[in-house]
Chain A
Amino acid sequence: MTDMQTTKENIRIGFYVCHCGHNIAAMVDCPDVAKYVKGLPNVVLSRDYKYMCSDPGQELIQKDIREYKLNRVVVASCSPLLHEHTFRGATEAGGLNPYFFHMVNIREHNSWVHTDRAEATAKAKALAHAAIDRVAFHKALETKTVKINPDVLVVGGGIAGIHAAMTLANAGKKVYLVEREPSIGGHMAKFDKTFPTLDCAACILTPKMSEVGAHPNITLWSYSEIARVDGYVGNYKVQVKRKPRYISEERCIGCQDCITHCVFKEPKFEDVFNEGLGKRKPVYIPFPQATPQIVLIDPNVCLNFKRAKGPDGTPIVSDKCKKTCVEACGDKNAIDFTQKEEIKEIDVGTIIVATGFQSFDAKRVPAYGYGTHKNVYTALEIERLVNASGPTGGEVILREGKNADGSPKHPKSIGIIHCVGSRDKKTHIWCSRVCCMYSMKLAHLLKEHTGAEIYNFYIDIRAPGKGYEEFYNKLLDEGVHFIRGRVGEVTDWTMTPEEEGKLVIRVEDTLAGYVRRIPVDMVVLATGLEPQADAQDVRRLFNMSCGTEGFFLERHPKLAPVNTFTDGIFIAGACQGPRDIPDTVAQAGAAAAEALVLIDKGFIEQEPNTAYILDEDCSGCKSCIPLCPYSAILYDENRKKAFINEALCKGCGTCVGACPSGSIVQNLFEDDEIFSEIQGVLATVPA
């Protein structure tokens, strides 16, 4: 970098206005803007060019810098969030300090949002004028580099988190995998088979889960949550809340003798993992392949804790139970009723957030009768019901109704309603992307298990993926019925003897053109995917943004789909939007690769937009000190002056805007630069 000694007198600005093909040129008269800027002070050269970001465009800047001895460069094109970096690079390659460059946004903020060519051209001129005024004040700046801690935190132990953690661990990085539930596996662990290949979900997932549990580079903390995140890219300080399992993770060997010997002879409490279809004991392991293979005790139902609460409401050890579990555990001595919540602090450089989705609550569409009619199920319930390790061992039994001989009843006809909580203005407007496919998968599995007649009620079949359309065709061959139309209601109000004792699905068949009543034994609601209930809290924790629908927002929908607006924090999987397993795994790999880029580079260059205090102007009033959220401003008692620790400053400029003596300066956003910009945008522009 050559830091040219420039004074206001010999400023030589090169200005470039980009056509961006037709993107800008269609709404802005680019040659006219170039002509206008040519007449502004300090402008040596003003050009319009088809694509400034292309190689020839960048070379043009470099050549002009040398040929015309430019010392400032302004490009009017797209958003600086997209190409500022590109043009700073070109400016630097031309032999100038990259911060002698300034960018004008005349695409996103102008040509794409306005409809009057004259107005848009005038606006482009005003914005360009402001940049020309501003860039004269620019100074040569040095970027500072920050070291990256090579350890990574992965939040969420679903398939996304598992894959990201494994990728990083296999690359030799140390990974902390934090999962809220007692076991990793996420939603995928609940599935029976996966579409369209019909692989058994457990068969492909559980080996990965065990690998995570055994990997020397992975520290797996299940039943834990993130409590606090401080720091910045490369140097995050994270507090992890480890909830008490009342079982020592070090001493439990997963023999499950305690479960067998629990004073409750029969399981009698709702089994969350099985969507409430099964029962579990107070001491339990969520599912047979759970990782880690460590039991836990639910203090809300365990007899030992029942009615034995300390003054602060936390469970205490009581003598209300015979504690047969402790006896069974014997000298392994793994049960510890005195366990308390623990906060662990870790240092990591990068974070991958893979917190997944939650299933839409089917009760929000009362017309479909979930919770009212017992034989209406959600898709996740069916996943457990058809699963060999599920509550019924894979037998599809109706919740309500028995055969004449008192044996459990199997459905003879099943209706699967698509788009429950998707593509509906009343609930969620988005398509959840996976429901068509998983509905067809369930249709196949249910037919296989029961031989029932299956009716799919759909709006459109969306099967975009490798082998997906083929799967749909296969289902048609299998004789599964597809009826196009959004279902009006599910009712037990019958009109004919055939409908007696069944649920009737009322739907307008939009292909046949009339309203139909279809009696079935079982209704399956293909519930959509929605953001986790606490997505907003998680977002704040990691300083991320959410889109309008509540999923985490990526930095760029196409070019940075796993990055967030906070450097060093990446997102993967369905926390960013509904997606299927292959896409989730691909995205998790991408997030891991993005983290590896930072780790293997070892450092990151940070924008030099930090603030500093002009010693001679500081009155020592200390009004800036409490404003800084990073405690970057310190006070020198001897000299009675404030000063800024540059390493801690993040460059927001809040102190700058508040200093009564105007003695704080923010690089790249100096008062002079902003005042000249204000003056520039308000300059009279000829029509």
Chain B
Amino acid sequence: MTKSSATSAGAWTPRIVAFFCNWCTYTAADLAGVSRLKYASNVRVIRLMCSGRVDPQFVLDALTRGADGVLIGGCHPGDCHYVEGNYKMLRRFQLLKRLLRDMGVEEDRVRLEWISAAEGDKVKAVINEMTEQLLRLGPLGLPQQFEEWDKEITRLEQEVGSPGNGATCACAAKLQAPTQASRKEVAHV
């Protein structure tokens, strides 16, 4: 499948992958629809039963495949349909943020929001706000960056001579297209 830049015809617009929990945020997004609220079309929602299901790998995977931002939506603290899945997500999110910062991904690109089933207007507000923030930040462009790095490594290899063991190259390739095996290697929270 293609995983290219977000540019289609015309100006660049950000792409947001959203993970919404079934009980609160997904329902809130449904409510926004039923209420005919209007918001930016940049978001693509993936439904999960609970924000606790969000594996940090999902976020990393979305970013490496060309998303410019990731939005995670769960129930308000204390309101989780599964008692405390949202707290578990919050814990993972704190660590994930640190990891993303070290990777040079701006903080505003990955967001965790508590949105209850009644807050259709908050869905609208958050998505619009996030879209604006990402427009200011510009494309993340991780896939292109990986391509550049791969090219650079190939050039370096050619300069040095024989490819050697190619450890760096394998590392970049892994990030670019995580395999089932490599996903399991990354430490979970």
> Which A residues lie at the B interface, using CB under 8 A?
79-81, 105, 107-110, 112-116, 119-120, 122-123, 126-127, 130, 133, 540, 543, 545-548, 553, 565-566, 609, 617, 627, 629-630, 650-654, 656-662, 666, 669, 671-672, 674-675, 677-687
List of A residues within 8 angstroms of B83 by Cβ:
629-630
* Contact of B49 (CB < 8 Å), options: A540, A609, A677, A680: A609
Is B61 a contact of A675 with CB atoms below 8 Å?
A: yes
**CA of A431 to CA of B155 in the docked complex: distance in angstroms?**
72
Question: B99 at the A/B interface (Cβ < 8 Å)?
Answer: no
* Contact of B50 (CB < 8 Å), options: A105, A107, A652: A652
Is B65 a contact of A109 with CB atoms below 8 Å?
A: no
Docked complex: B15-48 residues within 8 A CB-CB of A:
15, 17, 22-24, 26-27, 29-30, 32-34, 36-39, 41, 44-48
Is B34 a contact of A119 with CB atoms below 8 Å?
A: no
Q: Nearest chain B CB to A20's CB is how many angstroms away?
A: 12
List of B residues within 8 angstroms of A116 by Cβ:
41
Is A654 a contact of B46 with CB atoms below 8 Å?
A: no
* Contact of B118 (CB < 8 Å), options: A113, A543, A548, A671: A548
The verdict on A682 contacting B65 (CB below 8 Å), with A79-B30, A657-B52, A675-B58 known, is: yes
Is A629 a contact of B84 with CB atoms below 8 Å?
A: yes
**CA of A109 to CA of B38 in the docked complex: distance in angstroms?**
10
Chain B count of residues within 8 A CB distance of the other chain: 64
Question: B94 at the A/B interface (Cβ < 8 Å)?
Answer: no
The verdict on A115 contacting B38 (CB below 8 Å), with A545-B116, A654-B52, A654-B85 known, is: yes
Task: Give the segment of B3-11, B101-109, B159-167 that binds chain A.
Answer: B3-11
Is B88 a contact of A540 with CB atoms below 8 Å?
A: no
Is B79 a contact of A540 with CB atoms below 8 Å?
A: yes
**CA of A95 to CA of B87 in the docked complex: distance in angstroms?**
41
Of chain B, the residue at the smallest CB distance from A80 is B47
* Contact of B117 (CB < 8 Å), options: A553, A661, A674, A684: A553
5 contacts between A and B (CB under 8 A): A105-B47, A565-B23, A629-B84, A678-B17, A683-B2
Of chain A, the residue at the smallest CB distance from B52 is A654
* Contact of A79 (CB < 8 Å), options: B33, B58, B180: B33
Is B17 a contact of A108 with CB atoms below 8 Å?
A: no
List of B residues within 8 angstroms of A627 by Cβ:
52, 88
* Contact of B46 (CB < 8 Å), options: A112, A666, A678: A678
The verdict on A654 contacting B2 (CB below 8 Å), with A659-B188, A661-B184, A662-B183 known, is: no
Q: Nearest chain A CB to B14's CB is how many angstroms away?
A: 12
Is B53 a contact of A654 with CB atoms below 8 Å?
A: yes
Docked complex: B48-66 residues within 8 A CB-CB of A:
48-50, 52-56, 58, 61-62, 65-66
List of B residues within 8 angstroms of A653 by Cβ:
48-50, 52-53, 85
The verdict on A658 contacting B189 (CB below 8 Å), with A669-B49, A678-B17 known, is: yes
The verdict on A682 contacting B85 (CB below 8 Å), with A546-B118, A666-B53 known, is: no
**CA of A117 to CA of B3 in the docked complex: distance in angstroms?**
24
List of A residues within 8 angstroms of B116 by Cβ:
545-546
**CA of A114 to CA of B37 in the docked complex: distance in angstroms?**
8
Question: B67 at the A/B interface (Cβ < 8 Å)?
Answer: yes
Is A123 a contact of B117 with CB atoms below 8 Å?
A: no
**CA of A292 to CA of B58 in the docked complex: distance in angstroms?**
58
**CA of A547 to CA of B116 in the docked complex: distance in angstroms?**
9
Is A109 a contact of B30 with CB atoms below 8 Å?
A: yes
Is A113 a contact of B44 with CB atoms below 8 Å?
A: no
List of B residues within 8 angstroms of A659 by Cβ:
188
The verdict on A686 contacting B44 (CB below 8 Å), with A109-B30, A629-B84 known, is: no
Is A113 a contact of B117 with CB atoms below 8 Å?
A: no
Q: Nearest chain B CB to A297's CB is how many angstroms away?
A: 36
Is B8 a contact of A113 with CB atoms below 8 Å?
A: no
Q: Nearest chain B CB to A556's CB is how many angstroms away?
A: 9
Is A682 a contact of B3 with CB atoms below 8 Å?
A: yes
**CA of A627 to CA of B38 in the docked complex: distance in angstroms?**
38
Is B34 a contact of A108 with CB atoms below 8 Å?
A: yes
* Contact of A545 (CB < 8 Å), options: B4, B24, B66, B189: B24
List of B residues within 8 angstroms of A546 by Cβ:
116, 118
Question: B78 at the A/B interface (Cβ < 8 Å)?
Answer: yes
Is B46 a contact of A674 with CB atoms below 8 Å?
A: yes
**CA of A685 to CA of B4 in the docked complex: distance in angstroms?**
10
List of B residues within 8 angstroms of A80 by Cβ:
47
Question: B82 at the A/B interface (Cβ < 8 Å)?
Answer: yes
Given contacts A108-B32, A669-B48, A674-B46, 12 further A-B contacts (CB under 8 A): A112-B36, A113-B37, A120-B41, A543-B81, A545-B79, A652-B49, A653-B52, A657-B53, A661-B184, A662-B188, A679-B65, A687-B10
Of chain A, the residue at the smallest CB distance from B32 is A113
Is B44 a contact of A81 with CB atoms below 8 Å?
A: no
**CA of A630 to CA of B44 in the docked complex: distance in angstroms?**
31
Is B49 a contact of A685 with CB atoms below 8 Å?
A: no
Is B30 a contact of A108 with CB atoms below 8 Å?
A: yes
Q: Nearest chain B CB to A655's CB is how many angstroms away?
A: 8
**CA of A80 to CA of B27 in the docked complex: distance in angstroms?**
10
Question: B171 at the A/B interface (Cβ < 8 Å)?
Answer: no
Q: Nearest chain B CB to A22's CB is how many angstroms away?
A: 13
Of chain A, the residue at the smallest CB distance from B24 is A545
Question: B119 at the A/B interface (Cβ < 8 Å)?
Answer: yes
Is A686 a contact of B33 with CB atoms below 8 Å?
A: no
**CA of A654 to CA of B85 in the docked complex: distance in angstroms?**
6
List of B residues within 8 angstroms of A123 by Cβ:
41, 44
Docked complex: B153-184 residues within 8 A CB-CB of A:
178, 180, 183-184
Of chain B, the residue at the smallest CB distance from A41 is B1
Which 5 A-B pairs have CB atoms at the shortest separation, nearest pair first?
A108-B33, A654-B52, A653-B53, A652-B82, A681-B44
Q: Nearest chain A CB to B179's CB is how many angstroms away?
A: 10
**CA of A609 to CA of B56 in the docked complex: distance in angstroms?**
20
Question: B92 at the A/B interface (Cβ < 8 Å)?
Answer: yes
List of B residues within 8 angstroms of A666 by Cβ:
49, 53
**CA of A629 to CA of B116 in the docked complex: distance in angstroms?**
20
Is A682 a contact of B67 with CB atoms below 8 Å?
A: yes
